[in-house]
A and B are shown apart, each in its own frame.
Chain A
Amino acid sequence: MEQLTHLKELEAESIYILREVAAQFEHPCILFSGGKDSIVLTYLAYKAFYPAKLPFPLVHIDTGHNFPETLTYRDSLVEKLGADLVVGYVQDSIDQGKVTEEKGYSASRNKLQTVTLLDTLAEHKFDCACGGARRDEEKARAKERIFSHRDEFGQWNPKNQRPELWDLYNAKKDVGEHFRAFPISNWTEMDVWQYIYQEGIELPSLYYTHRRKCFLRDGQWLAADPPFIPRRESETVVEKEVRCRTIGDVTCTGLTLSHAHRLEDIITEIAASRVTERGGRADDKRSETAMEDRKKQGYF
């Protein structure tokens, strides 16, 4: 009997996981950022339940520092799929005094998202949030389960994660606890790109080469437009042809110099690339265990 290609097998596994989420939880949701991973995740969810509509809403935590292209894309996708959208605003958390805005040149609202995320999940009583995280992205995610238990503080304790055998997922929990589910855990960055190409999935224009005003800091190109990043006098603004390989908000997205306009060219560039996907994410550079520490605080 013909064995499936790796993309077909990964797709089948992710759809299986999404259906388990729907069956084992009361109020699941999909964390949507507008990044390629959450886009592929949403697309897989659409496939998993078709012809029924997505049985759970998309949740977007808006730092207020997004590229406008991300928001446009999000809104048109929601309309196309007939999905429900829930938005949590980091600005609200700041106004409520729950978090304090960072100051300085490397200020970012990335860390603040965690509080808004947990509040939004609690407010809507979501008992499972599906994310597009992959295990190959970063060291701390290599250990992550597919159904990842979070305590009542939203915290991830590496010592308490349940053994996950075969394709059996244990979603049992006590009141106040919730889960994160990661249906594309076994996909690599290349798998995601290949799938996008194979399926003809539309992406926000940021992923493709475009001209943008940017500046150089510590060897990394960052966006000067929109102007969310405080800039030093010495950091001159120039216009460059760039694209984003991975998208956070403006303050933590590195721009890659590129002339790749077509998807095939982007994929070729990535295959030849010697820097990991998250190498361009300023949020991971802060310390060796940055991601792990953020996870313990319930970020993702």
Chain B
Amino acid sequence: MKLLRFSTAGSVDDGKSTLIGRLLYDSKSIFEDQMEEAEKASRSRGNEEVNLALFTDGLRAEREQGITIDVAYRYFATPKRKFIIADTPGHIQYTRNMVTGASTTDLAIILVDARHGVMEQTVRHSWLVSLLGIKEIVVCVNKMDLVDFQEDVFLQIKQAYLEMAKSFCRAHITFIPISAKLGDNVVNASSNMPWYEGKALLDFLETVEIERSSDDHFRMCVQWVDRPISSKWPDFRGYTGRICQGEIKVGDRILVQPSGLYSNVTGILLGEKSLSSAVCGQSIVLTLSDDIDISRGDVLVSAEGCQANEASTVALDICWLRPEPLLPGKRYLIRHATQEVQGIVKEIVYKVNISTLEKESSISSLTMNDIARVILKTASPLIFEYYQNNRTLGSLIFIDPGTNDTVGAGMIVPEAL
């Protein structure tokens, strides 16, 4: 069984939490005692039916206000697949949470209220999701029950969305008309919308195949050097990490970046098991034929094909996560793969006006929720791939050395010439 991680985004009133509650409820993932609790809480809050949103609102303040503030991870499985949902808020002031939730996902569900159609929020979320490299988008046109399940309404919204998204969105987009509250087309097909011939949401989620990168040159960031120095393993030196691209086999020749030294793989371990090969996603230990200096932060790549990029100056698409502004010239700590270096933003090339998608230049600083293109200079070279090709090697975070907080998220892009 495989794993699919997806995010859900939408306005507070678009019914996102209800949709998730419905997915969990209808797929029988909500256990008796959780249901009892939600019923009890619903009654004490004066709701008539079970408020399905209560399954996903956890913290006290949220339960009182009735909205989701943070990223909540929900889990369910069908016989076909295991799912992880990153449930994110719709409020503009929590864009940072949405970016966080979406960063680990492969698919995004975007909710649109059938009565209101494409709104500023829809544009913003769609743009963000595209920025984060998500290749599958499912636009759920919700509350179809409130527009009499009319096909015209659905088609108009679909048209408007495609028009809006065509300038920036390279994802595969699927449209599904639903009613999260009543359950139409969420798990079960809707008898109220016979004109819709596509899959219900859960069926789609169970069967969608996420497009994987076609680049299969081996890449692994060294996390930790394993040195037992025991009587049983006196000379063992293994390089540990999680393969983020391609495959590796015993006997393969690899290059270490940035040192430029070559060696051959003599062994691959996963726990006590010796493997003859390992694939993208696996966490392994590699042993090499040469006694060369390799440490955390180095990247092991296939000796064939191109190397990973190395540069101290890179262009980034960033999302600023905190109210304290990004200041060009201020020193930040940059965490990128297993490297940690100091970095300075040399220039804010432009800021994106998320409502109009226009680029604004002559920007002197950025604040929370701003999305911009910047030039970053680091104290030592980053070893990277462009984000569109490899998320692990193309993403980074800004850490404020004064507060220790994670203040920005960046994706490395090819510099515009």
Chain A residues closer than 8 Å to B103, beta-carbon distance: 165-166
Residue A212 CB within 8 A of the other chain: no
Nearest CB in chain B: distance from A274 CB, A: 4
Is the Cβ of B70 less than 8 Å from the Cβ of A143?
yes
Residue B96 CB within 8 A of the other chain: yes
> Which listed residue (B3, B71, B269) contacts A50, Cβ 8 A?
B269
Is the Cβ of B96 less than 8 Å from the Cβ of A163?
yes
Chain A residues closer than 8 Å to B401, beta-carbon distance: 172
Residue A286 CB within 8 A of the other chain: no
Q: Mark B62-73, 1 if CB is under 8 A from A, else 0.
A: 010000001111
Is the Cβ of A188 less than 8 Å from the Cβ of B77?
yes
Is the Cβ of B230 less than 8 Å from the Cβ of A53?
yes
Is the Cβ of A12 less than 8 Å from the Cβ of B242?
yes
Give Cα A140–Cα B58 distance, bound, in whole angstroms: 6
> Which listed residue (A142, A161, A166) contacts B104, Cβ 8 A?
A166
Is the Cβ of B223 less than 8 Å from the Cβ of A19?
yes
Is the Cβ of B296 less than 8 Å from the Cβ of A23?
yes
Is the Cβ of B240 less than 8 Å from the Cβ of A19?
yes
Give Cα A80–Cα B223 distance, bound, in whole angstroms: 26
> Which residues 151-172 of A sit at the B interface, judged by CB distance below 8 A?
158, 161-168, 170, 172
Is the Cβ of B75 less than 8 Å from the Cβ of A163?
no
Nearest CB in chain A: distance from B364 CB, A: 24
Is the Cβ of B3 less than 8 Å from the Cβ of A10?
yes
CB-nearest residue of chain A to B410: A165
Give the bracket for the number of chain A residues in contact with chain B: 35 or more
Q: Mark B383-413, 1 if CB is under 8 A from A, else 0.
A: 0000000011001110101001110010000
Taking A50-B269, A165-B397 as contacts, is the C-beta distance between A6 and B2 under 8 angstroms? yes
Of the 9-residue stretches B156-164, B177-185, B188-196, B274-282, which lies at the interface with chain A? Answer: B274-282
> Which listed residue (A10, A46, A52, A292) contacts B228, Cβ 8 A?
A52
Is the Cβ of A163 less than 8 Å from the Cβ of B224?
no
Nearest CB in chain B: distance from A8 CB, A: 7
Taking A19-B223, A162-B406 as contacts, is the C-beta distance between A274 and B59 under 8 angstroms? no
Taking A142-B74, A143-B59, A274-B32 as contacts, is the C-beta distance between A49 and B226 under 8 angstroms? yes
Is the Cβ of A50 less than 8 Å from the Cβ of B272?
yes
Residue B130 CB within 8 A of the other chain: no
Chain A residues closer than 8 Å to B296, beta-carbon distance: 23
Count chain B residues whose beta carbon lies closer than 8 angstroms to a beta carbon of A: 73
SS of A interface (majority): loop
Nearest CB in chain B: distance from A204 CB, A: 22
Number of A-B contacts (CB under 8 A): 171
CB-nearest residue of chain A to B397: A168
Residue A47 CB within 8 A of the other chain: yes
Is the Cβ of A47 less than 8 Å from the Cβ of B404?
no
> Which listed residue (A2, A163, A190) contacts B406, Cβ 8 A?
A163
> Which residues 19-76 of A sit at the B interface, judged by CB distance below 8 A?
19-20, 22-23, 46-53
Nearest CB in chain B: distance from A170 CB, A: 5
Is the Cβ of A276 less than 8 Å from the Cβ of B34?
yes
Give Cα A5–Cα B282 distance, bound, in whole angstroms: 11
Chain B residues closer than 8 Å to A51, beta-carbon distance: 226, 228, 230, 232-233, 236, 238, 269
Residue B7 CB within 8 A of the other chain: no
Is the Cβ of A274 less than 8 Å from the Cβ of B37?
no
> Which listed residue (A9, A13, A168, A188) contacts B335, Cβ 8 A?
A168
Is the Cβ of A12 less than 8 Å from the Cβ of B335?
no
- Which 6 residue pairs are nearest across A and B when measured between Cβ atoms? A47-B271, A139-B58, A172-B404, A15-B283, A6-B3, A274-B32
**What are 22 residue pairs bridging A and B, where the CB atoms are less than 8 Å apart in the complex?**
A2-B279, A16-B241, A23-B224, A51-B228, A51-B238, A51-B269, A53-B230, A142-B58, A143-B72, A161-B70, A165-B397, A170-B404, A172-B333, A172-B404, A186-B75, A191-B82, A275-B32, A275-B33, A276-B33, A279-B31, A288-B63, A292-B59
